[in-house]
Chains A and B, each alone.
Chain A
Amino acid sequence: MSEWHGLTILMLMVSGFFIGVLGSVLGIGGGVFIVPLLVLVLKLPIQQAIAVSLVAIIATSSAVAAVNVERGLTNMRLGIVLEMTTAVGAIGGALLLNALPAHWLQTLFAVMLGPVAVLMFWKGWRTLRRAALPAAAADRTTIGHLAPGRFDTEFHDPAVGAKIPYAVRNLVPAAGASLVAGAMSGLLGLGGGIIQVPVMNLVCGVPIKAATATSNFLIGVSAAASALIFLRQGLILPDLAATVVVGVLLGSFVGIRVLYKIRAEKLQMAFAVLMVLVAAKMLSKAFQ
Protein backbone atom coordinates (compact mmCIF):
# COMPACT_ATOMS: atom_id res chain seq x y z
CA MET A 1 0.00 0.00 0.00
CA SER A 2 3.08 2.24 0.01
CA GLU A 3 2.15 3.66 -3.39
CA TRP A 4 -1.25 4.74 -2.14
CA HIS A 5 -1.66 8.23 -0.90
CA GLY A 6 -3.32 9.24 2.34
CA LEU A 7 -6.58 10.07 0.57
CA THR A 8 -7.04 6.44 -0.49
CA ILE A 9 -6.40 5.23 3.05
CA LEU A 10 -8.86 7.79 4.41
CA MET A 11 -11.44 6.81 1.78
CA LEU A 12 -11.04 3.13 2.71
CA MET A 13 -11.41 3.83 6.43
CA VAL A 14 -14.45 6.07 5.95
CA SER A 15 -16.05 3.57 3.55
CA GLY A 16 -15.25 0.77 6.03
CA PHE A 17 -16.85 2.82 8.80
CA PHE A 18 -20.12 3.24 6.89
CA ILE A 19 -20.06 -0.43 5.84
CA GLY A 20 -19.64 -1.38 9.52
CA VAL A 21 -22.55 0.84 10.60
CA LEU A 22 -24.75 -0.49 7.78
CA GLY A 23 -23.75 -4.09 8.49
CA SER A 24 -24.83 -3.75 12.12
CA VAL A 25 -28.05 -1.90 11.34
CA LEU A 26 -29.08 -4.08 8.40
CA GLY A 27 -27.95 -7.31 10.06
CA ILE A 28 -25.69 -8.36 7.17
CA GLY A 29 -21.96 -8.89 6.83
CA GLY A 30 -20.01 -6.23 4.99
CA GLY A 31 -19.06 -8.51 2.09
CA VAL A 32 -21.83 -7.30 -0.22
CA PHE A 33 -20.36 -3.79 -0.02
CA ILE A 34 -16.62 -4.44 0.54
CA VAL A 35 -16.03 -6.66 -2.51
CA PRO A 36 -17.64 -4.20 -5.00
CA LEU A 37 -15.82 -1.28 -3.32
CA LEU A 38 -12.42 -2.93 -3.76
CA VAL A 39 -13.12 -4.26 -7.27
CA LEU A 40 -14.98 -1.31 -8.78
CA VAL A 41 -13.26 1.61 -7.01
CA LEU A 42 -9.74 0.35 -6.24
CA LYS A 43 -9.59 -1.99 -9.28
CA LEU A 44 -8.32 -4.82 -7.10
CA PRO A 45 -8.44 -8.39 -8.53
CA ILE A 46 -11.64 -10.01 -7.25
CA GLN A 47 -9.75 -12.87 -5.53
CA GLN A 48 -7.85 -10.37 -3.34
CA ALA A 49 -11.02 -8.36 -2.71
CA ILE A 50 -12.79 -11.52 -1.52
CA ALA A 51 -9.86 -12.40 0.77
CA VAL A 52 -9.81 -8.90 2.33
CA SER A 53 -13.60 -8.96 2.68
CA LEU A 54 -13.36 -12.20 4.69
CA VAL A 55 -10.91 -10.62 7.16
CA ALA A 56 -13.37 -7.74 7.67
CA ILE A 57 -16.23 -10.24 8.11
CA ILE A 58 -14.24 -12.05 10.84
CA ALA A 59 -13.69 -8.71 12.59
CA THR A 60 -17.37 -7.69 12.57
CA SER A 61 -18.56 -11.20 13.38
CA SER A 62 -16.23 -11.44 16.40
CA ALA A 63 -17.08 -7.96 17.70
CA VAL A 64 -20.84 -8.36 17.25
CA ALA A 65 -20.87 -11.99 18.51
CA ALA A 66 -19.19 -10.93 21.77
CA VAL A 67 -22.12 -8.56 22.43
CA ASN A 68 -24.79 -11.03 21.28
CA VAL A 69 -23.39 -13.84 23.45
CA GLU A 70 -23.49 -11.47 26.44
CA ARG A 71 -27.12 -10.59 25.64
CA GLY A 72 -27.98 -14.30 25.43
CA LEU A 73 -29.20 -13.90 21.83
CA THR A 74 -26.78 -16.43 20.32
CA ASN A 75 -27.74 -20.10 20.40
CA MET A 76 -24.18 -21.42 20.81
CA ARG A 77 -25.25 -25.08 20.76
CA LEU A 78 -27.04 -24.68 17.45
CA GLY A 79 -24.10 -22.59 16.24
CA ILE A 80 -21.36 -25.14 16.95
CA VAL A 81 -23.34 -27.96 15.31
CA LEU A 82 -24.02 -25.94 12.14
CA GLU A 83 -20.36 -24.84 12.06
CA MET A 84 -19.41 -28.41 11.14
CA THR A 85 -21.07 -28.11 7.72
CA THR A 86 -20.35 -24.41 7.22
CA ALA A 87 -16.60 -25.05 7.70
CA VAL A 88 -16.68 -27.84 5.09
CA GLY A 89 -18.47 -25.50 2.65
CA ALA A 90 -16.03 -22.66 3.33
CA ILE A 91 -12.99 -24.87 2.67
CA GLY A 92 -14.56 -26.16 -0.56
CA GLY A 93 -15.47 -22.63 -1.69
CA ALA A 94 -11.96 -21.32 -0.99
CA LEU A 95 -10.38 -24.14 -2.99
CA LEU A 96 -12.78 -23.49 -5.87
CA LEU A 97 -11.90 -19.76 -5.91
CA ASN A 98 -8.51 -20.40 -7.50
CA ALA A 99 -9.97 -22.73 -10.10
CA LEU A 100 -12.41 -20.15 -11.49
CA PRO A 101 -11.43 -17.21 -13.75
CA ALA A 102 -12.04 -13.69 -12.41
CA HIS A 103 -14.91 -12.86 -14.79
CA TRP A 104 -16.77 -15.99 -13.67
CA LEU A 105 -16.37 -14.92 -10.04
CA GLN A 106 -17.63 -11.42 -10.86
CA THR A 107 -20.62 -12.87 -12.69
CA LEU A 108 -21.37 -15.27 -9.81
CA PHE A 109 -21.05 -12.43 -7.30
CA ALA A 110 -23.42 -10.23 -9.33
CA VAL A 111 -25.91 -13.08 -9.76
CA MET A 112 -25.82 -13.83 -6.00
CA LEU A 113 -26.52 -10.18 -5.18
CA GLY A 114 -29.91 -10.51 -6.92
CA PRO A 115 -31.51 -12.94 -4.44
CA VAL A 116 -29.69 -11.21 -1.58
CA ALA A 117 -31.32 -7.90 -2.61
CA VAL A 118 -34.76 -9.52 -3.01
CA LEU A 119 -34.50 -11.20 0.43
CA MET A 120 -33.34 -7.97 2.05
CA PHE A 121 -36.20 -6.01 0.46
CA TRP A 122 -38.70 -8.67 1.52
CA LYS A 123 -37.32 -8.74 5.07
CA GLY A 124 -37.69 -4.97 5.40
CA TRP A 125 -41.18 -4.98 3.86
CA ARG A 126 -42.33 -7.90 6.06
CA THR A 127 -41.06 -6.23 9.25
CA LEU A 128 -42.76 -2.97 8.31
CA ARG A 129 -46.01 -4.85 7.67
CA ARG A 130 -45.72 -6.72 11.00
CA ALA A 131 -45.11 -3.46 12.84
CA ALA A 132 -48.53 -2.33 11.61
CA LEU A 133 -50.21 -5.45 13.08
CA PRO A 134 -51.47 -5.65 16.68
CA ALA A 135 -48.65 -6.80 19.02
CA ALA A 136 -50.18 -10.20 19.79
CA ALA A 137 -50.50 -11.08 16.11
CA ALA A 138 -46.96 -9.94 15.37
CA ASP A 139 -45.47 -11.95 18.24
CA ARG A 140 -47.38 -15.14 17.58
CA THR A 141 -45.00 -16.23 14.82
CA THR A 142 -41.87 -15.99 16.94
CA ILE A 143 -42.86 -17.12 20.43
CA GLY A 144 -42.81 -20.90 20.72
CA HIS A 145 -43.17 -23.40 23.53
CA LEU A 146 -40.06 -24.45 25.41
CA ALA A 147 -39.72 -28.17 24.73
CA PRO A 148 -37.00 -30.20 26.45
CA GLY A 149 -34.68 -30.35 23.42
CA ARG A 150 -30.91 -29.89 23.70
CA PHE A 151 -30.95 -26.86 21.39
CA ASP A 152 -33.99 -25.20 22.93
CA THR A 153 -33.41 -22.03 24.89
CA GLU A 154 -34.77 -18.55 25.53
CA PHE A 155 -33.60 -14.94 25.38
CA HIS A 156 -34.79 -11.62 26.73
CA ASP A 157 -36.24 -9.36 24.05
CA PRO A 158 -36.31 -5.73 25.23
CA ALA A 159 -38.67 -4.79 22.38
CA VAL A 160 -41.34 -7.19 23.73
CA GLY A 161 -40.23 -6.77 27.35
CA ALA A 162 -40.30 -10.52 27.99
CA LYS A 163 -38.34 -13.72 27.68
CA ILE A 164 -38.84 -15.49 24.36
CA PRO A 165 -38.58 -19.28 24.68
CA TYR A 166 -38.23 -21.31 21.50
CA ALA A 167 -37.75 -24.88 20.31
CA VAL A 168 -35.36 -25.71 17.47
CA ARG A 169 -36.61 -28.14 14.82
CA ASN A 170 -35.52 -29.38 11.36
CA LEU A 171 -31.75 -29.35 11.88
CA VAL A 172 -30.98 -31.18 8.61
CA PRO A 173 -32.12 -28.38 6.25
CA ALA A 174 -30.26 -25.89 8.45
CA ALA A 175 -27.07 -27.97 8.14
CA GLY A 176 -27.53 -27.99 4.34
CA ALA A 177 -28.05 -24.21 4.28
CA SER A 178 -24.88 -23.79 6.37
CA LEU A 179 -22.92 -25.82 3.85
CA VAL A 180 -24.10 -23.53 1.01
CA ALA A 181 -23.49 -20.41 3.12
CA GLY A 182 -19.96 -21.60 3.90
CA ALA A 183 -19.27 -22.18 0.21
CA MET A 184 -20.56 -18.66 -0.55
CA SER A 185 -18.20 -17.31 2.05
CA GLY A 186 -15.12 -18.98 0.59
CA LEU A 187 -16.02 -18.43 -3.04
CA LEU A 188 -17.52 -14.93 -3.01
CA GLY A 189 -16.43 -13.29 0.27
CA LEU A 190 -20.03 -13.03 1.51
CA GLY A 191 -20.97 -13.95 5.06
CA GLY A 192 -23.84 -16.22 4.04
CA GLY A 193 -26.22 -14.85 6.68
CA ILE A 194 -28.72 -14.04 3.98
CA ILE A 195 -29.22 -17.81 3.52
CA GLN A 196 -28.81 -18.94 7.14
CA VAL A 197 -31.07 -16.39 8.82
CA PRO A 198 -34.25 -17.17 6.78
CA VAL A 199 -33.63 -20.94 7.02
CA MET A 200 -33.11 -20.82 10.80
CA ASN A 201 -36.13 -18.55 11.21
CA LEU A 202 -38.62 -20.11 8.81
CA VAL A 203 -37.52 -23.78 8.79
CA CYS A 204 -36.01 -24.28 12.26
CA GLY A 205 -38.38 -21.98 14.17
CA VAL A 206 -35.64 -19.80 15.67
CA PRO A 207 -36.92 -16.24 16.34
CA ILE A 208 -35.43 -13.70 13.93
CA LYS A 209 -33.22 -11.93 16.52
CA ALA A 210 -31.72 -15.21 17.75
CA ALA A 211 -31.35 -16.45 14.15
CA THR A 212 -29.47 -13.28 13.15
CA ALA A 213 -27.18 -13.54 16.21
CA THR A 214 -26.52 -17.26 15.68
CA SER A 215 -25.81 -16.71 11.98
CA ASN A 216 -23.35 -13.96 12.89
CA PHE A 217 -21.68 -16.38 15.31
CA LEU A 218 -21.31 -18.99 12.51
CA ILE A 219 -20.00 -16.52 9.94
CA GLY A 220 -16.76 -16.01 11.88
CA VAL A 221 -15.83 -19.67 11.55
CA SER A 222 -16.69 -20.00 7.85
CA ALA A 223 -14.76 -16.81 7.06
CA ALA A 224 -11.79 -18.01 9.16
CA ALA A 225 -11.72 -21.41 7.40
CA SER A 226 -11.45 -19.69 4.00
CA ALA A 227 -9.16 -16.90 5.22
CA LEU A 228 -6.66 -19.45 6.60
CA ILE A 229 -6.33 -20.88 3.08
CA PHE A 230 -6.07 -17.43 1.47
CA LEU A 231 -3.44 -16.33 4.02
CA ARG A 232 -1.19 -19.21 3.01
CA GLN A 233 -1.79 -18.42 -0.66
CA GLY A 234 -0.75 -14.78 -0.11
CA LEU A 235 -4.11 -13.41 -1.29
CA ILE A 236 -4.64 -11.26 1.80
CA LEU A 237 -2.99 -7.83 1.63
CA PRO A 238 -2.37 -7.10 5.34
CA ASP A 239 -2.12 -3.29 5.10
CA LEU A 240 -5.27 -3.04 2.99
CA ALA A 241 -7.10 -5.49 5.25
CA ALA A 242 -6.00 -3.55 8.36
CA THR A 243 -7.26 -0.26 6.92
CA VAL A 244 -10.66 -1.69 5.97
CA VAL A 245 -10.98 -3.62 9.27
CA VAL A 246 -10.28 -0.55 11.44
CA GLY A 247 -13.01 1.39 9.60
CA VAL A 248 -15.48 -1.50 9.64
CA LEU A 249 -14.90 -2.25 13.34
CA LEU A 250 -15.35 1.38 14.38
CA GLY A 251 -18.55 1.44 12.31
CA SER A 252 -19.75 -1.81 13.90
CA PHE A 253 -19.17 -0.46 17.42
CA VAL A 254 -21.21 2.63 16.56
CA GLY A 255 -23.83 0.49 14.84
CA ILE A 256 -24.23 -1.84 17.83
CA ARG A 257 -24.16 0.77 20.59
CA VAL A 258 -25.90 3.78 19.08
CA LEU A 259 -28.13 2.58 16.29
CA TYR A 260 -29.25 -0.65 17.96
CA LYS A 261 -32.84 0.47 18.37
CA ILE A 262 -33.48 2.42 15.18
CA ARG A 263 -35.99 1.09 12.70
CA ALA A 264 -33.92 -0.12 9.77
CA GLU A 265 -36.63 -1.50 7.48
CA LYS A 266 -36.79 1.41 5.03
CA LEU A 267 -32.99 1.55 4.96
CA GLN A 268 -32.98 -2.18 4.19
CA MET A 269 -35.34 -1.68 1.25
CA ALA A 270 -33.30 1.25 -0.08
CA PHE A 271 -30.06 -0.74 0.08
CA ALA A 272 -31.73 -3.68 -1.62
CA VAL A 273 -32.30 -1.38 -4.60
CA LEU A 274 -28.68 -0.13 -4.38
CA MET A 275 -27.49 -3.74 -4.36
CA VAL A 276 -29.25 -4.41 -7.66
CA LEU A 277 -27.38 -1.43 -9.17
CA VAL A 278 -24.05 -2.75 -7.79
CA ALA A 279 -24.85 -6.18 -9.25
CA ALA A 280 -25.48 -4.60 -12.66
CA LYS A 281 -22.14 -2.73 -12.46
CA MET A 282 -20.27 -5.91 -11.46
CA LEU A 283 -21.93 -7.79 -14.29
CA SER A 284 -20.94 -5.15 -16.85
CA LYS A 285 -17.34 -5.26 -15.56
CA ALA A 286 -17.31 -9.06 -15.88
CA PHE A 287 -18.25 -8.85 -19.55
CA GLN A 288 -15.89 -5.97 -20.44
Chain B
Amino acid sequence: MKTAVVTEREVGRLIQRTLQIGVWLALACFAVGLALRLLAHPAAAGNWFLAGVVALILTPVARVAMLAFGYWRAKEYAFTLAALVVLSLLLIAVLL
Protein backbone atom coordinates (compact mmCIF):
# COMPACT_ATOMS: atom_id res chain seq x y z
CA MET B 1 0.00 0.00 0.00
CA LYS B 2 2.93 2.39 0.62
CA THR B 3 3.74 2.64 -3.09
CA ALA B 4 0.08 2.90 -4.14
CA VAL B 5 -0.93 5.70 -6.50
CA VAL B 6 -4.29 6.00 -4.76
CA THR B 7 -4.83 5.36 -1.04
CA GLU B 8 -7.58 3.26 0.53
CA ARG B 9 -9.10 6.47 1.89
CA GLU B 10 -9.30 7.95 -1.61
CA VAL B 11 -10.95 4.77 -2.91
CA GLY B 12 -13.41 5.16 -0.02
CA ARG B 13 -14.20 8.73 -1.04
CA LEU B 14 -14.85 7.59 -4.63
CA ILE B 15 -17.24 4.91 -3.34
CA GLN B 16 -18.95 7.35 -0.99
CA ARG B 17 -19.57 9.83 -3.82
CA THR B 18 -20.86 7.11 -6.16
CA LEU B 19 -23.36 5.89 -3.56
CA GLN B 20 -24.50 9.41 -2.71
CA ILE B 21 -24.99 10.34 -6.37
CA GLY B 22 -27.04 7.18 -6.98
CA VAL B 23 -29.31 7.71 -3.97
CA TRP B 24 -29.90 11.42 -4.66
CA LEU B 25 -30.51 10.74 -8.37
CA ALA B 26 -33.15 8.15 -7.47
CA LEU B 27 -34.74 10.49 -4.92
CA ALA B 28 -34.83 13.30 -7.52
CA CYS B 29 -36.61 10.97 -9.99
CA PHE B 30 -39.11 9.97 -7.28
CA ALA B 31 -39.73 13.64 -6.42
CA VAL B 32 -40.43 14.49 -10.09
CA GLY B 33 -42.69 11.43 -10.32
CA LEU B 34 -44.58 12.46 -7.20
CA ALA B 35 -44.99 16.02 -8.52
CA LEU B 36 -46.31 14.74 -11.87
CA ARG B 37 -48.69 12.43 -10.02
CA LEU B 38 -50.05 15.32 -7.99
CA LEU B 39 -50.49 17.25 -11.27
CA ALA B 40 -52.54 14.30 -12.59
CA HIS B 41 -50.05 12.96 -15.14
CA PRO B 42 -49.97 9.31 -14.02
CA ALA B 43 -48.26 7.91 -17.16
CA ALA B 44 -45.36 10.38 -17.00
CA ALA B 45 -45.15 9.91 -13.23
CA GLY B 46 -44.83 6.12 -13.73
CA ASN B 47 -41.86 6.64 -16.07
CA TRP B 48 -40.06 8.78 -13.48
CA PHE B 49 -40.76 6.25 -10.72
CA LEU B 50 -39.31 3.53 -12.96
CA ALA B 51 -36.27 5.70 -13.74
CA GLY B 52 -35.72 6.17 -10.00
CA VAL B 53 -35.97 2.43 -9.34
CA VAL B 54 -33.48 1.71 -12.15
CA ALA B 55 -31.09 4.39 -10.81
CA LEU B 56 -31.31 2.84 -7.37
CA ILE B 57 -30.70 -0.73 -8.59
CA LEU B 58 -27.73 0.44 -10.69
CA THR B 59 -26.15 2.28 -7.73
CA PRO B 60 -24.47 -0.84 -6.23
CA VAL B 61 -23.45 -1.87 -9.78
CA ALA B 62 -21.76 1.51 -10.28
CA ARG B 63 -20.19 1.20 -6.82
CA VAL B 64 -18.62 -2.16 -7.78
CA ALA B 65 -17.33 -0.66 -11.06
CA MET B 66 -15.81 2.26 -9.14
CA LEU B 67 -14.25 -0.16 -6.65
CA ALA B 68 -12.61 -2.02 -9.57
CA PHE B 69 -11.34 1.32 -10.93
CA GLY B 70 -10.17 2.55 -7.52
CA TYR B 71 -8.27 -0.63 -6.65
CA TRP B 72 -6.74 -0.70 -10.14
CA ARG B 73 -5.46 2.85 -9.55
CA ALA B 74 -4.20 1.73 -6.14
CA LYS B 75 -2.37 -1.17 -7.83
CA GLU B 76 -4.35 -3.65 -5.71
CA TYR B 77 -4.90 -6.03 -8.59
CA ALA B 78 -6.32 -8.95 -6.56
CA PHE B 79 -9.16 -6.73 -5.32
CA THR B 80 -9.62 -5.28 -8.83
CA LEU B 81 -10.10 -8.83 -10.08
CA ALA B 82 -12.61 -9.58 -7.29
CA ALA B 83 -14.60 -6.45 -8.24
CA LEU B 84 -14.56 -7.45 -11.92
CA VAL B 85 -15.87 -10.93 -11.02
CA VAL B 86 -18.75 -9.32 -9.05
CA LEU B 87 -19.42 -6.97 -11.96
CA SER B 88 -19.59 -9.94 -14.34
CA LEU B 89 -22.06 -11.69 -12.02
CA LEU B 90 -24.26 -8.59 -11.97
CA LEU B 91 -24.11 -8.48 -15.78
CA ILE B 92 -25.24 -12.12 -15.86
CA ALA B 93 -28.17 -11.15 -13.58
CA VAL B 94 -29.16 -8.46 -16.11
CA LEU B 95 -29.19 -11.00 -18.92
CA LEU B 96 -31.10 -13.74 -17.05
Least distance between B12 CB and chain A CB atoms (Å): 5
Q: Give the residue name and chain of the A residue nearest to B85 (CB).
A: A84
Instruction: Indicate with 1 or 0, residue by residue over B33-63, a CB within 8 angstroms of chain A CB atoms.
Output: 1100100001001100110111011111101
Contact call A241/B89, Cβ cutoff below 8 A: no
Contact call A62/B96, Cβ cutoff below 8 A: no
Contact call A81/B82, Cβ cutoff below 8 A: yes
User: Which B residues touch A238, using CB under 8 A?
Assistant: 46, 49-50, 52-53
User: Which B residues touch A245, using CB under 8 A?
Assistant: 26, 30, 52-53, 56
CB < 8 Å neighbour of A150 from B30, B57, B78, B83? B78
User: Which B residues touch A225, using CB under 8 A?
Assistant: 89-90, 93
Least distance between A110 CB and chain B CB atoms (Å): 27
Kindly state whether residue A203 has any CB partner on chain B within 8 Å.
Answer: no
Q: Give the residue name and chain of the A residue nearest to B89 (CB).
A: A87
Kindly state whether residue B23 has any CB partner on chain A within 8 Å.
Answer: yes
User: Which B residues touch A62, using CB under 8 A?
Assistant: 19, 22-23, 56, 59-60, 63
For the complex, would chain A's binding face be called helix, strand, loop or mixed by DSSP majority? helix
Kindly state whether residue A177 has any CB partner on chain B within 8 Å.
Answer: no
Distance A65 CA – B18 CA, assembled complex (angstroms): 11
Kindly state whether residue A286 has any CB partner on chain B within 8 Å.
Answer: no
For the complex, would chain B's binding face be called helix, strand, loop or mixed by DSSP majority? helix
CB < 8 Å neighbour of A239 from B12, B45, B58? B45
Contact call B42/A2, Cβ cutoff below 8 A: yes
Q: Tally of A-B residue pairs with Cβ under 8 A?
A: 138
Distance A77 CA – B8 CA, assembled complex (angstroms): 9
User: Which B residues touch A223, using CB under 8 A?
Assistant: 60
Q: Give the residue name and chain of the B residue nearest to A186 (CB).
A: B93
Contact call B60/A80, Cβ cutoff below 8 A: no
Contact call A242/B89, Cβ cutoff below 8 A: no
Q: Within A89-142, which residues are at the interface with B (CB < 8 Å)?
A: 90-91, 94-95
User: Which A residues touch B64, using CB under 8 A?
Assistant: 80, 83, 221
Contact call A80/B79, Cβ cutoff below 8 A: yes
User: Which B residues touch A81, using CB under 8 A?
Assistant: 79, 82
On chain B, the number of residues with a Cβ less than 8 Å from chain A's Cβ atoms is 48
* Size band of the interface chain A makes with B: 35 or more
Distance A124 CA – B33 CA, assembled complex (angstroms): 40
Distance A89 CA – B30 CA, assembled complex (angstroms): 30
Given A55-B57, A245-B26, A246-B30, A65–B19 Cβ distance below 8 Å? yes
Known: A225-B89, A228-B57. 4 other contacts (CB 8 A): A63-B23, A94-B93, A227-B57, A239-B46
Residues of B within 8 A of A (CB): 8-9, 11-13, 15-16, 19-20, 22-23, 26-27, 30, 33-34, 37, 42, 45-46, 49-50, 52-54, 56-61, 63-64, 67, 71, 76, 78-79, 82-83, 85-86, 89-90, 92-94, 96
Q: Which 4 A-B pairs have the closest CB atoms?
A: A220-B60, A238-B49, A66-B19, A224-B60
**Can you list 20 A-B contacts with CB-CB less than 8 angstroms, sorted by A residue number?**
A58-B57, A63-B19, A66-B15, A66-B20, A66-B23, A69-B12, A76-B11, A76-B12, A83-B82, A84-B82, A87-B89, A91-B92, A95-B96, A221-B86, A225-B93, A228-B90, A232-B96, A241-B53, A242-B34, A245-B30
